[in-house]
Amino acid sequence: MQAIPKAEHGIDPALVSPAAVRIVHKLCEAGFEAYIVGGAVRDLLLGAHPKDFDVATNATPEQVKGLFRSARIIGRRFQIVHVRDGREVIEVTTYRGHHGSEGAQPATSKQSDKGLLLRDNVYGTLEEDAARRDLTINAMYYDPEREVVLDQLAGTEDLQARLVRVIGDPWARYREDPVRMLRVARFAAKLQFDLEPTTEEAIADCAPLLREIPPARLFDEFLKLFMAGFGKPTFLLLLQHDLLSCLCPAATESINAQTSHRHLVSMAMGNTDQRVKDGRPVTPAFLLAALLWPAVTTRSGQLLQEGMPPAQAINSAGQQLTAETCQHMAIPKRFSIPMREIWELQPKLERQQKRRVPDILSGRRFRAAYDLLLLRDQAGPDLEQAVQFWTEQQRLNPELVGSAPRTDDERPASKRRRPRRRKPAP
Ligand code: ATP
Ligand code: MG
């Protein structure tokens, strides 16, 4: 395996998390191997601040737990240990081995008929662990004590060539875990890298496999794709490779049908990215409202033609589309409820009724609904009058905007009122 010395890799030790270094040190002291691995090494080699740190080791999850008081074993499909050190949580994973190798038994290894990995807890060597990772640029190991990088799959070369390359045969690797296709798009967009040709070619064949992924996992992935500050380039890449339709088919169909629709969603993504960069709060509810809006208007347009009143048409289209989308990615209620409220405010904002102003302005969703109205106006239909009206109303009544009290649903979990426990019957 290629060991790259400090003079060549140039990692700045000041960017390395002291907590990760302490954990590696303690594991090594106890006689195990341990390295910083994955995205952290990739980002360190690019001179960037890693978002979080992962550690790989030959110690089993139980052995890791034995060494750290703050360790918690989590996961089933893929067991990992969370070790808390101060305010940081470091993910410690045991080297994965090959399925079909000696250590592979039903308790540790399970694959579906189609090759999907259902359980992935076969332990192996560092070489096997590297080969089981998703991308060459995510499969490098950093030893913070000797300050060397171990790179057996030429990840450093791909970093230099700015290429996202799946390790091994992309068709087989996507079949094992179709979410890897979304990861390919995410890293290509975030790093502004190109896709290596076979990595790209296999996506066209394998994209439908994403339908096999549990909707809850796809929603987790949705958040990583769009809430991390690179939503706009990710959105465009997912559209280009027809991967977005696996997350939200109806929305994608409407987005592909009209340039103005694509424009609206892409602006919403761009605004969210900017907010992330400025450190301002962002909510998936707004992004989801924008992403599905083209489908909501298309569907409600059909209902209007059938004679349904506007408010009812939006309400009904919104309900249908939420239910349809949740079959692919499970949007939690705490996001789908505000998302629908943002839609339902659109016809009310368009109507500009004076007597409804205090009620609408003070509503919790007013700001988000107004932001969507602005985007709609910029993307296509002429809503300038409505925009002017609501801009003026906010100027006249700043104290009212969003002033209605929060419902319990909207409070962070820590601030929610606990339901009173009933005394057990005697
Ligand atoms: P980020 O900057 O988003 O944290 P990351 O590369 O660290 O990027 P994680 O999701 O934290 O991504 O995963 C950590 C590492 O685990 C990855 O770098 C990769 O080596 C490996 N990994 C994660 N998901 C998969 C997967 N689906 N298949 C194979 N390897 C994976
Ligand atoms: Mg990570």
Residue ending a domain, among 117, 145, 161, is 161
- Would residue 252 count as lying in a domain? yes
User: Measured from the CA of 176, which atom of ligand 1 is nearest?
Assistant: 28
Evaluate whether 323 touches 295 at the Cβ level (below 8 Å): no
- Would residue 207 count as lying in a domain? yes
Q: What Rg, from alpha-carbon coordinates, does the chain have?
A: 25
The CATH number assigned to the domain holding 392 equals 1.10.3090.10
Q: Do 322 and 391 share a structural domain?
A: yes
Percent of the chain exceeding pLDDT 90 equals 81
Q: Do 227 and 207 share a structural domain?
A: no
Ligand 1 proximal residues by C-beta, below 6 Å: 38-39, 51-52, 54, 133-134, 138-139, 177, 179-180
Residue nearest atom 10 in ligand 1 by C-alpha distance: 39
Instruction: Report the separation in Å between the CA atom of 185 and the middle of ligand 1, taken as the mean of its atom positions.
Output: 13
Whose atoms come closest to the Cα of 213: which ligand? 1
Can you tell me the distance from the alpha carbon of 34 to that of 21, in angstroms, rounded to the nearest whole number?
Answer: 10
pLDDT digits (tens, 9 = 90+) for 378-405: 998 789 999 999 999 999 988 888 887 7
Evaluate whether 239 touches 255 at the Cβ level (below 8 Å): yes
- Would residue 325 count as lying in a domain? yes
Can you tell me the distance from the alpha carbon of 342 to that of 355, in angstroms, rounded to the nearest whole number?
Answer: 20
Which residues 6+ apart lie within 8 Å of 130 measured at CB?
139, 141, 152, 153, 167
Q: Do 271 and 385 share a structural domain?
A: yes
- Would residue 426 count as lying in a domain? no
Pairing of strands 194-195, 163-164: parallel
- Would residue 37 count as lying in a domain? yes
Tokens (6 digits) for 312: 């009812």
Instruction: Report the separation in Å between the CA atom of 165 and the middle of ligand 1, taken as the mean of its atom positions.
Output: 14
Can you tell me the distance from the alpha carbon of 222 to that of 198, in angstroms, rounded to the nearest whole number?
Answer: 24
pLDDT at 131: 95
Other CB atoms within 10 A of residue 416 CB? 11
The DSSP code for 126 is H
Q: Do 248 and 183 share a structural domain?
A: no
Q: Do 178 and 270 share a structural domain?
A: no
Tokens (6 digits) for 232: 């706009």
Is-catalytic flag, 359? no
Q: Do 359 and 326 share a structural domain?
A: yes
Sheet strands (E) in 68-140:
71-74, 80-85, 88-94, 109-111, 117-120
Whole-prediction pTM: 0.89
Q: Do 176 and 256 share a structural domain?
A: no
Q: Do 140 and 69 share a structural domain?
A: yes
pLDDT digits (tens, 9 = 90+) for 278-314: 999 999 999 999 999 999 999 999 999 999 998 999 9
Residue ending a domain, among 196, 213, 230, is 213
pLDDT digits (tens, 9 = 90+) for 208-240: 999 999 999 999 999 999 999 999 999 999 999
- Would residue 184 count as lying in a domain? yes
- Would residue 9 count as lying in a domain? yes
Q: Which of 54, 129, 158, 273 is catalytic?
A: 54
At residue 407 the predicted structure's pLDDT band, cuts being 50, 70 and 90, is low
Instruction: Report the separation in Å between the CA atom of 106 and the middle of ligand 1, taken as the mean of its atom positions.
Output: 24
Q: Do 305 and 242 share a structural domain?
A: yes
- Would residue 423 count as lying in a domain? no
Q: Identify the CA nearest to 38 among candidates 187, 181, 185, 222.
A: 187
Is-catalytic flag, 129? no
Tokens (6 digits) for 139: 């499969």
At residue 4 the predicted structure's pLDDT band, cuts being 50, 70 and 90, is very high
Q: Which residues of 89-124 are buried (b: 16+ CB within 10 A; e: fewer)?
A: ebbbbbbbbebeeeebeeeebbbeeeeebebbbbbb
Instruction: Report the separation in Å between the CA atom of 330 and the middle of ligand 1, taken as the mean of its atom positions.
Output: 22
Is-catalytic flag, 382? no
Which residues 6+ apart lie within 8 Å of 180 measured at CB?
134, 166, 173, 174
Q: Do 143 and 46 share a structural domain?
A: yes
State how many domains the chain has.
Answer: 3
Q: Do 293 and 184 share a structural domain?
A: no
pLDDT digits (tens, 9 = 90+) for 237-247: 999 999 999 99
The range of the structural domain enclosing residue 203 comes to 167-213
The CATH number assigned to the domain holding 11 equals 3.30.460.10
pLDDT digits (tens, 9 = 90+) for 186-210: 999 999 999 999 999 999 999 999 9
Q: Do 371 and 235 share a structural domain?
A: yes
Sheet strands (E) in 86-184:
88-94, 109-111, 117-120, 141-143, 148-151, 163-164
Q: Which of 43, 120, 129, 134 is catalytic?
A: 134
Mutate-to-test residue for ligand 1 from 74, 96, 134, highest number of ligand atoms within 8 A of CB = 134
In this structure, which residues have their CB less than 5 angstroms from ion ligand 2?
39, 52
